[in-house]
Chains A and B, each alone.
Chain A
Amino acid sequence: MSMIFGVPLAVLSGQLLIGIINGAFYALLSLGLAVIFGLLKIINFAHGAMYMLGAMTTVLMFDYLGVNYWVALLLAPLLVGAFGVAIEYFLLRRIAGQDHIYSLLLTFGIALIISGVLVNWFGVSGLRYAMPDMFKGGVNLGFMFMPYYRAWVIVAALVVCFGTWFVIEKTKLGAYLRAGTEDSQLMQGFGINVPLLISLTYGFGVALAAFAGVLAAPIYSVTPVMGSATLITVFAVVVIGGMGSIGGAIITGILMGVIEGLTKTFYPPASSAVIFLVMVLVLMFRPSGLFGKEA
């Protein structure tokens, strides 16, 4: 067996793979945060709860309605996205003119309610979601074993990330979004329905989180509290990358996943902390973030 730095290649590449997958989740989640932040200028503290809702709806729809994975992949983000639109319309909009701190606190309260209610219904021990049949097994790449599902997660996350980047940077709708980020009043003056755009943006960002949740359901333990710890890590990722660019959010997410995976191989005790340590370093030497423009 070939070794690299005293670690078997298979172990190293296995951890790298897990790192890339975790990174794909960080990328999807920080992308959603960045999209919401762009137009609404708020940090969505309910993002972790929405990710969790995506995973929970997938499991529950399967258990009670027999909805399969592929339908869930479409339906869960739609449902959670609609929920997000409702939250924006009924709650966030009411404090739109206020200090952004309030909307942050509001979404924090919403997250407490959602996860608290679900903990009561389902407890904190994980729900099981069976791996879809077609993803069972994997392929031997010679130096490592690649489970099909993991490969799928990477592909799906990258496609969605790239699609989002494309829509925002290259299409007319994206141009509206970017213009709204610059000056939403002027946009309104041009006859564009900004409130609707804001609702849909929040819904879309939240749907991205739910999509990540569906992807996570077969490989992570699905619990009502799965979102909160992930969200804090994603915050660190966002601080590292800055929310200035969509591409930056994606790259930083995957990079941090890989660093975490490598740490797990070489020095396991630090693996849960390493992203936060990177954040400290970035704050010391490049306070505006790797891709950020403003402080």
Chain B
Amino acid sequence: MTATFIGVRHHSPACARLVADTIIALRPAYVLVEGPADMNPRIGELLLGHDLPIAVYTGYRDAERRHGSWAPLCDYSPEWTALTAGRDAGAQLRFIDLPAWHPALAEVRNRYADAEARYAEVTERLCAAFAVDNADALWDHLFEIEPADGLAERLAAYFDLVRGDARPAADDVAREAYMAHWIRAAVADAGDRPVVVVTGGFHRPALVRLAEEGDRSWPELPEPPGGAVVGSYLVPYSFRRLDAFDGYQSGMPSPAYYQHLWESGPREAARRLTEAVTTRLRARRQQVSTADLIAAGATAEGLAAVRGHVCPARADVLDGLASALVSEALETPLPWATGGRIRPGGHPVIVEMVAALSGDRVGRLHPSTPLPPLVHAVADRLRAMGLDGSGEIRLDLRKDADLERSRLLHRLRVLAIPGVVRDSGPHPAGDPVPAEQWTLTDSDDRMPALIEAGGYGVDPGEAAAALLAERVSGPPADLDVLAGLLFDAALCGVGELTGRVLDDLARAVRAAADLGSLGRTLNVVLAMWRHDGLFHTGGGPAFGTLIAAAVDRALWLAEGVRGGPAPADPRRIEAMAAVRDALTHAATPLGLDVAAALGVADRVAAFSDAPPDLRGAAFGLGWSLRGTAAADPGRAVRGTFTPALAGDWLAGLFALAREEVLHTPGMLELLDELVEAMTDDDFLIALPALRQAFAYFPPRERHLIAARLVALRAGGASGPDLMRLDATPELVAAGMTLDERVDTVLRREGLITS
């Protein structure tokens, strides 16, 4: 008896049904499933009776490589129905693919992604021939919505076509050779009883061919290299995470919809999808009228008829809802038409629709499942580092032992384990302090949180890395969030992740529109690059590229700000200061273009349409970088000294070049002269901004300025003497008003001229 090969699309309800029906009909001796062969001794664990979705997680770590990957299973996974139906039929169950740590799967994070997505040319042609938008719609059209008769033949034809002449990558070849070895052995062992093989459809044509000839003994399980740490275990999973893989790693989208399809058929699934979208929108107080729903239903039915579906498929329902509910122009194309991640700027109705498709079902493991290793690992580490129990902990980050402890605590904090709170320590916006203060409280909530976090990895470092990686690849975040993630990654000591965050950050930096948040990011990155001893980021070239990109972008944005007089924006000034810091500290090692930066600074400083604080800052930038001012600073100060602008301009200047201002002879005298020349009214107008400007001097330097002014104006008297006044402020104010009135009268009568 030969084997029956069923090529499936992972997470396809139609394939799951076909697999179950075939196994029930054939009652095979062996059911062979594409899955990690190292889980074979523990297949019993999978069948304990969990609430799906769950996943087999495999973590691998050696000197060079760290890798974590998932094999997610849900109710409608063909692999899952193969296991359950096979068990009920009394068949021997075997996973036949290479273990997840094997180098052939080094690029794979989701074992059950679509292998054919990497060989897209044929699917593109098929989509054009069937006039559908993308491969997902094509799949629904061909398999999910169609009645089940002839499904096996259609699937085989489809996958033969997709595989076609595609030359598979070496990784796929290795996996197929290994799987074929298992199949030959099982067929030989089963004698005249049938064998059912359930694998990804892309592999099927090759397996059918390879299973013909070759070694018929049972294959060896590959051994991980010495010194490597490998662990595979079951973790709870969720629909949201199932839907969150992107690019080549994504499998079938919209788990909630296919769950309904699996449970109650396409018509009911369409109904529930509409219901879920409506409920979500109404909960958000969006108007969804009965007339809209009728229109949506009619459109969906109509679309199904045009596209030749017996009842509305996923895209039909969504198209119908979008037609009826969105009554304005969209900013971005419909996500189910283009495929891929939802892009920023999506219409709120569309965003809710995608969320409803994804669903919020969360899996739960059976209580007798072995605990994820993370739970033990965390307990061991905490005990070893003396962090178990409650209390306050103070850490000195310059000591290696304390740094290790800090990293462990940060990893737990990132994993949202209760009872780990940091009171103070290095902060992205502030100066790096090498000390941390933590408060630990032991609580019963820790265990469930750890079990849940167990889905992310075997040890805290790996889990924190996976969680941060997920956040990075989540919905597009703004710069502040990404900078925060980068900082978290550094605090957790997650080296390889910083690389990914840096890539995303570089992308976001190049597209940044807000000078303020760009400046903050530049500050974080620059601090991490400069204080490598504290963060141990490795200071790699990626940091350098990022700093260069941020400086470039900040200058580009600064040059684009216009609109004339506006109050000083401290964030904008900070950004310019960050640019100066980067150019001062990193220009030579990173090869930043100082000449170009000076060019921008001079242009902005001279550009009358730019806001005064930015012009001042640009002037200061040039001054501080060159050491001497490009133009005569005296003239520049005089040129901007109108009551409404002076303070804002000076704020920018002082923030970037206060040293230069202090140490240039005549500057202070000039400022004094200009302030002196203001009328009282003008002075009152200028005062708040001037105050803000002088706040950029630290108290010591303010004292210095005051002392010099006093020396200038009051001869020998000391500062404190001048501050002392015996009269009450009201009396002084009244006296000054009187003086002013007398002056006005005298001027009016022509008795004085100035």
Bound together:
no
Residues on A lying within 8 angstroms of B by beta carbon are none
